[in-house]
Structure 1
């Protein structure tokens, strides 16, 4: 009996030791982005903080859990309108008619709206500004109908684009972010109680593409106040569009408590179901951050929690340039060139690259270079001619320390590798002479092998 008790105590002690040992060895592998969650104590259902230049995830909380995004939905509508503008399908001056659906939604001032007239055609620019600055729902649906032919077709395009962007949790059922209970008979997809659903990570990916692909979108998202005069019957009574993003400068002294230097976007959102949400972006001296907070409890809190994220990003991290465009890659051998006037070519970075480095953390400046095999012959050589600036592979930093941070996209830290110089092709006579020399060389080698 005594022996059994002792054995039980030993077993308990051993179990406790193993538990401590397990926790000890697990701790170093915990993501710093996840560990930051414990120290920040963010008051939001989900959140994420991204370093834009490197794509590093600096903080995340329930980042893959799907929630209604409310009007943050409109960022996808903004992206697709910008895409249509760049592909010349529409212009800023393209006229947009107002359907019965758009008219009825736009007249509901309990939603964010500018009231639109059915007997007036608005320009894409007027409607886009109403959408991006004032989150006008009728204007958003009008743009969706113009670009997609119908909102239903446009929603299909939204989901297709989300899939392309790797937004694995995204499910769009309308272009505005209103719940179907508000859209009623006009809801293009879903049941009466359905809503769009996205995760914070999905929204961060979308925000990344808006800023990266169409940076001019920020020129509109950063406008704090603007009058909407299009179609107004009484010109002396324009609608004052107040940007719902109170972190922008330009609102006056009363709103200074929310202002944050460098903020220039991107989109707020609020419904009873979604709570108060905000996708923010801030740029200080080229160091840009993207944040998402979902499901906060008040208008003020979504900005307070975003401030906490921005402060964390700037106070705990600094931007370090690791590569400059056209800079030769230190320690990297030149690449052999076949049939060229030079038999090798030096390689350089195809673009500049910076990364966020935590205070006190060392970062490696070494790079691993991988050449594009489709550019090489069977002997691992480039075929002449080789153009200066031609992409021939990519480089990734050899991480030391910041390997603990996840990436928004796997290829965020892949830097194009380019040929640093031009290598022209030898003329036919030189190639013929070299070919003959090669044949004789092989023949002599064969004869020598006989003896």
Structure 2
């Protein structure tokens, strides 16, 4: 009997282990892989809040190819904003950039050595045709050398809170494709790399800080000086192009042997915008063609627009239940009403409108030891913050905490400081109140 029991135990153990090896619990990053996205990594976010709607392998650094140019664009817009360069500033093309721009195996508009081009012309070539020589010319105009510009790129990535990134040139080309003309301080085989999360985060910051980027990124085609033909946008999901999709107006494609076919796309439907990233896109059989990145992007956008929408979660002047007011010390009034100063809107999965709860945080620096505010208090003075906690089944979080939606909680009214007489009388009243309480407690103790 004992031998038979042991055999049954071993058999059941083997069956359990076999089932456990087959049934795998999906990780957070792959929670929605029922989309069956054919790419090394992919992500969907809502850009104003950074809410992640879908994620696949989003924290693995991968090649980004010309999606690199989003960082170059960010630094260019910043330099223009700071008046370090201007749209009409002329840039004279160096011999190095001339040679790169003449390479027809790369995406380029041919530039003439010694010829001046405006920043605006070079930027249009970058944004529409992903022109590499033009990109390098902008980098040199801003930083003096591309090497110094690369230092700026990495410093800005850290400042923006990106993780899993490495910039080695301004264009996204394989350094090897530059044939020895890669930036000093980088190796001939170095590559630009980012995770899908960081790529989406960079795109969101670019749109938030410099939304005018879409004015040029959305141009399907444009002529460059007197060069025959037109620059056709590599983003073929734009209106009038081969894989057009309603609402697409950006943002940046990228293709190299190292990175594969990549695309950071963005589109709107009504008041709802999404950013999508696909890296190393393929077809269902693992083959790589140019259309794969657009097919997979369409899949992501369809999922987002069909399942999510923007909703006002909390109205302006919202008061948290049981926290409608705070006690005030030394004020004419003993409490003050508190409320949000604006509404809070965020992307919500259809049917989950009630899955969000407010979380109130009071600024402890505003409170005394008794947890009271101290008069005087001005109407509109910030008292704390309010954010939203998701109570649903599946939370992919935010691409970055610095994009997470938070609204201010403010005083809804003025509270003036009470005069000395009122404060004195309160003190006397408090003294006798405490004295009476002490006496009654003592008497109760006798019995």
Q: TM-score, normalised by structure 1?
A: 0.86
Q: Take 1:124 and 1:68, find their aligned partners in 2: how far apart are those partners?
A: 27
Secondary structure of residue in 2 paired with 1:185: coil
Paired position in structure 1 for 2:445: none
1:436 to 421, 424, 440: 424
* CA gap 1:5/1:192 in 2 versus in 1, 3 angstroms: farther
Give the distance between the partners of 1:22 and 1:431, measured in 2 at CA: 75
| Residue 313 of structure 2 is aligned to residue 322 of structure 1 | yes
Match of 1:227 in 2: 223
The superposition leaves residues 187-223 of structure 1 with CA deviations (integer Å, 9 ceiling, x where unpaired) of: 1232221111111111111111111222121122111
- Per the alignment, residue 303 of structure 1 pairs with 294
Q: Distance in 1 between matches of 2:367 and 2:81?
A: 35
1:146 Cα deviation (Å)?
A: 2.0
Structure 1 residue 318 displacement after superposition: 3.4
**Structure-2 change in CA distance of 1:318 and 1:19 (3 Å):** farther
Matches of 2:434 and 2:107, distance apart in 1: 84
Is residue 250 of structure 1 aligned with residue 202 of structure 2? no
Classify 1:184/1:30 alpha carbon distance in 2 versus 1 (closer, same or farther; 3 Å): closer
Aligned to 1:75: 70
Partner residue, 2:304 = 313
For the structure 1 residues 83 and 388, does the alpha-carbon distance in structure 2 shift closer, same or farther, using more than 3 Å as the test? farther
Residues 333 and 185 of structure 1, relative CA distance in 2, 3 Å threshold: same
- The answer to whether residue 381 in structure 2 is matched with residue 396 in structure 1 is no
Which residue of the partner structure matches residue 204 of structure 2? 208
Supply the distance in 2 between the matched residues of 1:222 and 1:299 (Cα, whole angstroms): 19
Q: Does residue 8 of structure 2 align to residue 9 of structure 1?
A: yes
Give, in angstroms, the shift of residue 375 of structure 1.
3.1
Give the SS at the match of 1:295: strand
User: Equivalent residues in 2 for 1:246-395 (5 A)?
Assistant: 246-251=236-241, 255=242, 258-296=243-281, 297-324=288-315, 326-331=316-321, 332-340=323-331, 342=333, 343-357=335-349, 359-361=350-352, 363-395=354-386
The alpha-carbon distance between structure 1 residues 248 and 18, as it changes in their structure 2 partners (threshold 3 A), is same
Deviates more, 1:12-21 or 1:219-228: 12-21
How far has the Cα of 1:54 moved from its partner?
3.8
Distance 1:450 1:164 in 2: 59
Distance 1:19 1:102, change over 3 A: same
Q: 1:308 to 1:366 in 2, by over 3 A?
A: same
Instruction: Please say if residues 72 and 278 of structure 1, whose CA atoms lie closer than 8 Å, have aligned partners that are also in contact.
Output: yes
| 2:146 and 2:169 in contact (8 A); partners too | yes
The alpha-carbon deviation at position 322 of structure 1 amounts to 0.8
Change (3 A) 1:418 1:115: same
- Residues 146-185 of structure 1 correspond to what in structure 2 (within 5 A)? 146-185=141-180
**TM-score for the superposition, normalised by structure 2:** 0.87
Contact 1:323 1:354 in 2 (8 A): no
Question: Partners in 2 of 1:70 and 1:416 — Cα distance?
Answer: 37
Q: 1:443 to 1:17 in 2, by over 3 A?
A: same
Match of 1:232 in 2: none
2:442: which partner in 1?
Answer: none
Q: Which residue pairs with 1:101 in the alignment? A: 96
- CA separation in 2, counterparts of 1:133 and 1:406? 33
Structure 1 unaligned blocks of 5 or more? 230-234
User: Which residue of the partner structure matches residue 59 of structure 1?
Assistant: 54
* Cα separation, 2, equivalents of 1:338 and 1:22: 63
Task: Give per-residue Cα distances to partners, 1:218-242, cap 9 Å, x unaligned.
Answer: 122111112222xxxxx4x466221
When residues 384 and 141 of structure 1 are mapped into structure 2, their CA distance, relative to the original with a 3 A threshold, is: farther
Cα distance, 1:152–1:13 mapped onto 2, change above 3 Å: same
Greater CA deviation, 376-385 or 164-173?
A: 376-385
Runs of 5+ in structure 2 lacking a partner? Answer: 282-287, 440-447
Sort the Cα spacing of 1:242 and 1:335 in 2 relative to 1 into closer, same or farther, 3 A.
Answer: farther
